[in-house]
Amino acid sequence: MSYINHMVPKVKAKGKGRPWAFASECAGIKRLGLLFMLVCLLLPLVTVADGKEQLPQKVVYLTFDDGPKKTTPELLAILDELDVPATFFLLGYQARAFPEYTRMIYERGDTIACHTMDHSSGGIKDEPSQLQLVFRRFMKEMHDVLGDETFTTDLFRFPGGSTSYPFPTKKMVTDLGWSWFDWNAMTRDTYDDMNEKAVFASVRNTTKGRDVVILLAHDGKKNTRLALPDIVQYYRDGGYTFRRLSTSMEERRILARCPAHMRLPDLGPEGEQLLLESLEARGWSR
């Protein structure tokens, strides 16, 4: 606190009889105050002296499943308005039904990830090798819809979440070079009795105490669209940074602190070592 006292000149009663001097001192103090606030706001963004980039301590990934839907443009407009990034776990057949909306998601720069073609789970539960076909068909669909052969994704979410799938199916995802993600906070927006207030309450209750959050929401849900301004404000107030899922080194470092079920393909011994060192350097454990 002495630092602040040192920074801010004392207001002296001597200003009596010279109101303009007092007013200008007040203005000076206000300016210094604003400057101090600005420095406080920018400090977390400044890179550390050793040149290593500081990763945000609190991160939230907004994920939207089962789209695109006919209301996707409404959702995207809200996300634009709130200025937050998102990750979309799309269904291949939905992308075919709403190609324009799929392109809107892509052009926004949001992450497009695979949630199978039609939300069916039976085939891949019984026969893990079917996943190869699922991924191939999904990629082909995206190339056709987006008109961009360079599009690629290696992110997958199991229909209904990973817990009901046998180990060989989960292992097959990473064997094929893909990663899979569940979530550790949720909107419960698919339940019939969930209005936007209940959705927001569910987000708060399931987020509590978590620094790295993967939030499950669904495209096409009005309750979630209505709750989004409150949800985003809640995370902003809590000091969270909004990010998109990926398997980059930077995201791996952040996700290593996330308790959600997920599995990313191994980086190999060298990559794993790098990841561990970077975590240890920040005092984090896996």
Chain residues binding Zn ion by CB under 5 A are 65-66
| Beta carbon of residue 218, minimum distance to Zn ion (angstroms, whole number) | 7
| Beta carbon of residue 159, minimum distance to Zn ion (angstroms, whole number) | 5
Strand boundaries in the chain, DSSP class E: 59-65, 87-90, 111-114, 155-156, 179-181, 185-186, 212-218, 241-242, 262-263
- From the list 156, 149, 95, 160, the residue with the least C-alpha distance to 121 is 160
- From the list 39, 38, 42, 108, the residue with the least C-alpha distance to 73 is 108
| Beta carbon of residue 121, minimum distance to Zn ion (angstroms, whole number) | 10
Is the separation of the CB atoms in 265 and 174 below 8 Å?
Answer: yes
| Beta carbon of residue 119, minimum distance to Zn ion (angstroms, whole number) | 6
Is the separation of the CB atoms in 88 and 133 below 8 Å?
Answer: no
> Angle at CA 152, nearest 5°, toward 146 and 154?
135
| Beta carbon of residue 219, minimum distance to Zn ion (angstroms, whole number) | 10
Of 65 and 182, the one with the shorter C-beta distance to Zn ion is 65
Of 65 and 189, the one with the shorter C-beta distance to Zn ion is 65
Say if residue 44 is preceded by a cis peptide, omega within 30 of 0. Answer: no
For residue 179, the cross-strand partners are 155
Of 203 and 254, the one with the shorter C-beta distance to Zn ion is 203
| Beta carbon of residue 251, minimum distance to Zn ion (angstroms, whole number) | 22
- From the list 139, 157, 62, the residue with the least C-alpha distance to 108 is 62
Q: What is the identity of the amino acid at 17?
A: G
Nearest residue to the partner Zn ion, using Cβ: 65
Of 254 and 260, the one with the shorter C-beta distance to Zn ion is 260
Q: How is residue 217 annotated by DSSP?
A: E
3-state SS, residue 48: coil
Of 120 and 248, the one with the shorter C-beta distance to Zn ion is 120
Measured CA to CA, the distance from residue 246 to residue 254 in angstroms comes to 11
Of 216 and 254, the one with the shorter C-beta distance to Zn ion is 216
